[in-house]
Structures are given as C-alpha cells and as structure tokens.
Amino acid sequence: MIQSQHRGIIFLVLRRMRAPLAVLISIFAIAVLGLTVIPGIEVDGEARRMSFFHAFYFISYTATTIGFGEVPIEFSEAQRMWVTVCIYLSVVGWAYAIGALFALMQDTAFRDAVRTERFAREVRRLAEPFYLVCGYGETGRLVTRALDHLGIRVVAVEIDPAKAAELDLHSLWADVPSVVGDAAKPQVLRLAGLEKPECRGVMALTNDDQTNLAVAITARLLAPQVPALCRTRNVEIAANMASFGTRHIINPFEKFGEYLALALHSPSAYHLLEWLTGIDGTEVEPHRDPPRGTWVLCGYGNFGRLLANALEHEQMPVVLIDRDPPPDGTPHRWVQGDGTCAPALLEAGIRDACGIVACTGSDVDNLSICVTARELKPDLFVVVRQNHFSNNPLFDAFEADARVVPSRIIAHECLAILTTPLLVPFLDEVKAAREDWSAALLARLTERFGWRVPHVWSVRVNARQAPALFALLMPAGPDVTIDALLRDHARRDCALHCEVLLIRRDDGSNCLLPKGDQAIRVGDELLLVGDRQARSHLSLTVENPNTLDYVLGGRDLPGGWVWQRLSRRHG
C-alpha cells in the first residue's frame, strides 16, 4: 500500500493536528487573558493585576502539571477560582491533543506512510551496489540468502505483508530494505531504487507471470542499463519479454528440460554444470546417469510438454499418462488415466520403461506416482517435480534420482548470471564439448576441490579490479603467467587452491582452460574456480603492488617511501 506521494508524513501529522493545536492555543489564550483581567490581592488600596508575562509563566507551568505554586505574589480568591477553571481546561486540551497524536500513530495509513518513508530513506542512503529482488517467495528467499552470503546487498519488494515480515526473521548478514507493494507498479520499483546508479540488476521472481512481465517492461523503459532477470512459466510471455530486449528470461521447466537432455547425452557435462552453478557451500550429490530407453511421463502440462520435447529431441520414445484425453496431433503414445494407480502405469508399459517423470502440479500425486512405479519396477530412473519447498522432508525421504525444484533452478540460474557473467560462455563451451572431455575435466576438478560447490568468481585485469597487476602490465611490462600469479602471498612456493577455467580476451575471444604458462594481458577477464580463501589471497595479490612483487619475483619490497629510496641506493 504505497501512496503515490509518499513524502507527506509531516504534512499528514500537521493536518491531523490542526484542530487539537488550535484548541490548545485557545485554551492557553483564555487562561492567560483571564489571569491578567481578574483583580489580585489589594496592596495600598489598589488591586494588583498580573502582567501578561507573569500570567503566561504561571499558566505554562500549571498547564504542564509542573506547579510551582502561586508566584510572584499570593493570589486573590477570584484568581484562585479562575485558576481552578484553567487547570481543568488545560487538562482537557492536553488530553485531546495527545489523544489525537496517538490515534494518528495507530492509524494504518499513517504507519504505512512511515514504513514506506523509512524504506525510501534506506534505499536512498544505500551507497553500495545492490540487486533488486521482486517477490520474496521461495525463489526470492534462496537468491537473497545466497547474495547475502556473498556479501552483496539486496533490496526486496513483496506484495504479501506476511512474507515481507519474514525478512526480519531470517538471519541475514546485512540489512535488507524491504517494502510491501506491488512490483508491477513503476513507482514501487522507482522507490526501491531501480533508477539508482548502484542498482546492478533487477530480478522478477514473483509467482505471477504478468507481474514479472510488468517488471521487465518497467526496467527496460526506466533503467535500460540495468539487466533484468525474469522468471516465467509461460512460453508466450517469455517471447513477449524477449521482444523488448529482456536479456535473461528463466523458465525453470525449459531449463530443466535442457538439463535432462544434457544429462542424457552427456552426463559429465551435466554434473559439471550442476557443480559449478550450485549454491555456494552446498554439497552436490552425483546421481546415476539417466538411462536411454522408453520414458513414461505423467502429467502433460507446461512442464510435461517441454520435457516430452526434450526427450524426443534425444530420440527417446515417450509414453504419456494424463487424466485428460490426448490433444489432437500428439505424436506420443497416450494413456488416459490416473498415474497414481498401477493399472495406468502398467498400461503405459512401465515394466519395459527405463525411467519415469512425475510432473503434475500436485506434490502428493507426484510422490504417489513415483512410489507406485518403483514398486512395480525397482530399478526405474525416477525424476520427480517438487512444487513446494515446504514438502522438502517428503522428497528427501523418497530419494528420487533427480528432483526438479523450480525455485532452486531459478535461484541457481540467477546467481550464475549475476555474480559470474563469465560462467555462461564457459557452460556453453561445456555443453558443446564431447563427453570424454567433460568427464576428464569433471574428474580432475572434483578430485582437487571435492563435490562441495566451489567458489566461482571472475577478475578483470583493469585499473579498478586489479590495480597492481594493471600497473605492472600496462607499459608493455613483463610476461605474467597464470602459474606465476596463482601463488600464496605468504609462501610463494605454494600454489593457490584455485584454477582458471576461462580467459576472455579484450577482443571477445575465449581461451578455454588455459595452460599454466599462458600469459595474462591487460583487459583479460579470468573465470576462476576455487575456495574462498584463494579468492581473497588473489585479490590481495592483484591489488597490492608489494604483494604482487613478492608473488612474482620473491622479493620483499620495503613499504614506505624512505625505505624504498634507501633500498634503491643500496641495491
């Protein structure tokens, strides 16, 4: 609930306080006036009247219940009567004013205005790069947590107040400014900092495809330089998004279709991809490779259609089971029935099939299908679609061969695209490569780094990201090889625990898996895989000239100017 004019809190307060303040001023005025008019104690036969100054002084401390007594001289009885009236009048005035103020504080519209204002201020003051996450559901939560883990700031927009409130409960490192609002409205995105130069990307991760489309359009028109990542399940909407230049459209089902196809014809490449794009710090369990043969597919929805196409593309026969009659012109065998019961599965030839995909929209149905199918044929390769993250324990207990969790797929994809853009060209190379090449690479990398998802990052040799290396190389400096650079800055005979996967040259050409004696040039962008420590060591090496000098040449340079002069004279 965002008001279009959100900076009006102070005006709202003033407007609401108009009547109470006017009443308070009137009461003060009447009381003061009365005190100056009413005669006081007679001195020398003449009644002493209070001056305005004394009257105002007296009323000020009486009305605020401080009460110093009767000053400057004792009051006459007439004055005391008037003061009694004044005391009650002023209490009524204060009660009215304070009551109005508290009523305003409790007002939902006012509280929304205050919250929105606070959010806008937080975003305005955000001076570091951040990503804008629209939709804090399962996917949004995964992405936010992973980005937070990497030390990247996030701003969240969520339409459901309950979900937005969860943000405060999740223990994140950095504060995530969040607002309750509809991401489809441009002013909400604007408020969330879409147009700020620090905004590095916007992610449309809501459940609603139309909202995601609206976010894509808003980002394209208001902030064309900001890359937008959009989630959609609908092919037409994806086409619509693509038509106005949305760079990254993520359809989780299509993505999984691609993965499954990849897993079918090149299992190692698939594993490599999963290992590299997983969420930092999680363990990847290598599952058995999907067999080639007949596949049974239960549920012909959006996802079913994409998977059927993917399997067909790999020349696998597909048998479909669905409750609805077959649509016209389907090329696949079709069994109309309930996949959760044995008869339909048997009719579809489950005993001769090699794998089953349960991809209906219901988690319970999917599990039921898989359990029944496995009873009929225990060595079946089972792919199951998990719709809701909350059903995790059930799916963990079942141990399917492959599990499709849309939110997780989207999160992985977003993170890979955002944090290491160079990973995409590398993965493209992997997908295109031969199976034995991928197998060898996978074996080598997992032997060195383990099956835990490694740290993947990129470094560009320029003045900002690698100032020391840039300065050394810039005026046609010495050749620096990869092997020479990737060394520990404390003991240079130890290699860093990381490896270069890809070098993108300044001219756009790629150098896949460069050899250790490959020289690094200015403008190169390196894609590295390794652990977190190696990353921090390397960043110190390329940023600090003294460290770089030690790593490359083994010399410990003196740090200060005086010592540098002295050592130059002696050396």
Partner 1 sequence: MNLEKVVFGFVIVLAATLNFGFFVGDIDQTQHHDIYELFAAIVVNLIATVLKFGDRTQIGAIHLSTSLVADLQLIAAACVWAYASHVAGVGMDAGYTAKVVSLSGGALFANVVSVIILIAETIMQRR
Which residues form the interface with partner 1 (CB under 8 A)? Answer: 5, 8, 11-12, 14-18, 21-22, 25-26, 28-29, 32-33, 36, 51-54
> With respect to partner 1, which residue has the nearer C-beta, 32 or 320?
32
Kindly give the interhelix angle for 267-277 and 406-419, rounded to the nearest 10 degrees.
Answer: 70
Supply 99's token pair. Answer: 């009551």
User: Closest approach of Cβ 10 to partner 1, in Å?
Assistant: 9
User: Closest approach of Cβ 92 to partner 1, in Å?
Assistant: 17
User: For residues 374 and 353, what is the distance between their CA atoms, to the nearest angstrom?
Assistant: 11
Note if the bond before 421 is cis, omega within 30 degrees: no
| Residue positions counted in the chain | 571
158, amino acid identity: E
User: For residues 288 and 306, what is the distance between their CA atoms, to the nearest angstrom?
Assistant: 22
Helices (H) and strands (E) in the chain, counts: 24, 18
User: For residues 97 and 102, what is the distance between their CA atoms, to the nearest angstrom?
Assistant: 9
> With respect to partner 1, which residue has the nearer C-beta, 14 or 440?
14
Sheet hosting strand 318-322, strand order edge to edge: 333-336, 318-322, 295-298, 355-358, 381-385, 402-404
User: Closest approach of Cβ 52 to partner 1, in Å?
Assistant: 6
> With respect to partner 1, which residue has the nearer C-beta, 70 or 428?
70
Task: Report the candidate in 288, 358, 286, 289 with the shortest Cα–Cα distance to residue 321.
Answer: 358
410, amino acid identity: I
User: Closest approach of Cβ 188 to partner 1, in Å?
Assistant: 22
Supply 470's token pair. Answer: 């840039």
> With respect to partner 1, which residue has the nearer C-beta, 12 or 354?
12
Q: Are the C-beta atoms of 123 and 197 separated by less than 8 Å?
A: no
User: Closest approach of Cβ 25 to partner 1, in Å?
Assistant: 5
User: Closest approach of Cβ 110 to partner 1, in Å?
Assistant: 13
> With respect to partner 1, which residue has the nearer C-beta, 7 or 313?
7
> With respect to partner 1, which residue has the nearer C-beta, 8 or 553?
8
> With respect to partner 1, which residue has the nearer C-beta, 52 or 173?
52
User: Closest approach of Cβ 72 to partner 1, in Å?
Assistant: 9
Tokens 């100054």 appear where?
Answer: 53
User: For residues 32 and 359, what is the distance between their CA atoms, to the nearest angstrom?
Assistant: 81
> With respect to partner 1, which residue has the nearer C-beta, 5 or 171?
5
Supply 288's token pair. Answer: 């058995």
User: Closest approach of Cβ 60 to partner 1, in Å?
Assistant: 13
User: For residues 364 and 385, what is the distance between their CA atoms, to the nearest angstrom?
Assistant: 10
User: For residues 121 and 133, what is the distance between their CA atoms, to the nearest angstrom?
Assistant: 18
Supply 555's token pair. Answer: 């010399």
> With respect to partner 1, which residue has the nearer C-beta, 30 or 235?
30
User: Closest approach of Cβ 44 to partner 1, in Å?
Assistant: 18
CA distances from 518 to 43, 52, 356, 514 (A): 108, 91, 47, 6
> With respect to partner 1, which residue has the nearer C-beta, 37 or 371?
37
User: For residues 459 and 528, what is the distance between their CA atoms, to the nearest angstrom?
Assistant: 8
The residues, any chain, with a CB within 8 Å of residue 91's CB and separated by 6 or more, are: none
> With respect to partner 1, which residue has the nearer C-beta, 50 or 423?
50
CA distances from 476 to 419, 472, 504, 516 (A): 31, 8, 20, 21
User: Closest approach of Cβ 117 to partner 1, in Å?
Assistant: 15
User: Closest approach of Cβ 138 to partner 1, in Å?
Assistant: 42
